[in-house]
Amino acid sequence: MSAQSETESLLTYPYPWHQAVWQKLEKSMASDKLVHAILVAGPAGIGKQALVTALAHRLLCTNSENGSVCGVCKGCQLNAAQTHPDLKFVIPEEKGKAIKIEQVRELNEFFSKTAQQLGKKIAILGPVENLNLNSANALLKTLEEPTSNSHLLLFSHQLSGVLATIRSRTQLLSMPMPTEQESVGWLETMTDLNALELLEFSGGAPLRALEYCDVTILDEHKKMVSLVSQVYDGAISPLLAAAQLQKQDLQSVLTCLLNNLDSKVRSVFLGGNEVDPRLTWSLQKMYGLRDIVIGLAHQITNGANPNKQLALEEIFYSYAQCGVNR
């Protein structure tokens, strides 16, 4: 492997299913019309952070050719080493936790200084819904008073959790879930396991599916999916299911439940006449429960520490009421 290809292998590139959004970004860059703040929103597990990172690397490359980084310039070398002084990441210090106001203040200070490489200054922030009220308000300063030759690249897994004042000051790029064909085709190049099965367990998200290539993680997830499904079918009580999931991370259980809910909803709209018509009766309940689960996940992100047993019992009881035999 050449020195150039070694460097390029450490840089970030868009995933195959990013091409439509990437072409829009390339068009804006080619015409020098890329806005200061961009918000990429879509489901978790489809590579939104990777996309904005690829965009940052592209913007900091001083010798880009054919819409891709060159891999050899000073900017690419610094990015490959993850030491570029003009690229800043603002993400939760712990997975699932809030982005603190101190982090946003450091971001504002970062943008206030001249670029060390005398080019652009780029910051990547997300998930945006992990900003608490104070940190979100602090971010408005950067959005309302952008410095020249700078870009703030945001990503969100749950757009409804992003303040309207932030959404209105950014260019929104919606990124849908990749098609099954796109995801399976990519997964088959990454693993010898059953790509379609992994994708089904992940709720259609290819990057999350890739995590399940770890047999231990996959087995644990299968158990979780089975328990959640049994609650819906009435095969296990909400109380017993909650007790059996006590050792699992609450956010992971909520994500699993959301995937299960979404699967049930999709089956109504995609199943046609083959779907039991009684399932449609519970749609309103499922949408209501979905909002509750998302709200609880957001509270945990912002520091809440609910009683896991009680929270799961209440949620599972509501989910059991959505079952077709209720």
Statement to judge: residues 223 and 109 lie in one domain: no
Q: Does 4 score more than 50 pLDDT?
A: no
Average model confidence (pLDDT) across the chain = 87
Distance CA 301, CA 107 (A): 20
226 lies in some domain: yes
H-assigned helices in the chain = 3-9, 19-30, 48-60, 74-80, 101-112, 133-144, 164-167, 180-187, 195-201, 206-211, 215-233, 238-244, 250-270, 283-301, 308-320
Statement to judge: residues 147 and 226 lie in one domain: no
Statement to judge: residues 60 and 125 lie in one domain: yes
| Pairwise pLDDT comparison (76 vs 9), residue with the higher score | 76
Q: Containing domain of residue 146, as a range?
A: 3-174
Statement to judge: residues 33 and 163 lie in one domain: yes
Statement to judge: residues 146 and 10 lie in one domain: yes
Mean pLDDT of 157-186: 94
- The whole-number pLDDT of residue 280 equals 58
Q: Does 162 score more than 90 pLDDT?
A: yes
Q: Does 50 score more than 90 pLDDT?
A: yes
159 three-state secondary structure? helix
Mean pLDDT of 18-31: 92
- The whole-number pLDDT of residue 189 equals 94
Mean pLDDT of 102-111: 96
Give the number of domains in the chain. 2
Looking up residue 227, the CATH number of its domain turns out to be 1.20.272
The string of DSSP letters for 38-79 reads EEEE--TTS-HHHHHHHHHHHHH-TT-BTTB--SSSHHHHHH
137 lies in some domain: yes
Distance CA 99, CA 147 (A): 22
Mean pLDDT of 260-269: 77
- Range in 66-80, 239-253, 311-325 with the lowest mean pLDDT: 311-325
Q: Does 155 score more than 90 pLDDT?
A: yes
| Pairwise pLDDT comparison (118 vs 76), residue with the higher score | 76
179 lies in some domain: no
Instruction: Identify whether the C-beta of residue 67 lies closer than 8 Å to the C-beta of residue 14.
Output: no
Mean pLDDT of 217-230: 87
- The whole-number pLDDT of residue 270 equals 67
**66 CB-contact burial (10 Å; exposed 0-12 / middle 13-18 / buried 19+):** exposed
Percent of the chain topping pLDDT 90? 55
Distance CA 4, CA 73 (A): 10
Q: Residue 1's pLDDT band (boundaries 50, 70, 90)?
A: very low
Instruction: Identify whether the C-beta of residue 312 lies closer than 8 Å to the C-beta of residue 236.
Output: no
| Pairwise pLDDT comparison (265 vs 25), residue with the higher score | 25
Nearby residues of 4 by Cβ (< 8 Å), 6 or more positions away: 71, 72
| Cis ω for the linkage preceding 85 (within 30 of 0) | no
DSSP-derived secondary structure letter, 32? T
Distance CA 28, CA 56 (A): 14
Tens-place pLDDT, residues 266-313: 777 765 545 555 555 578 888 889 989 988 887 887 677 889 999 999
Q: How many CA atoms lie within 13 A of 159 on its CB side?
A: 15
- Give the residue from 147, 174, 201 where a domain finishes: 174
Statement to judge: residues 169 and 228 lie in one domain: no
Statement to judge: residues 146 and 230 lie in one domain: no
- Give the residue from 120, 148, 174 where a domain finishes: 174
Tens-place pLDDT, residues 77-92: 999 999 999 999 999 9
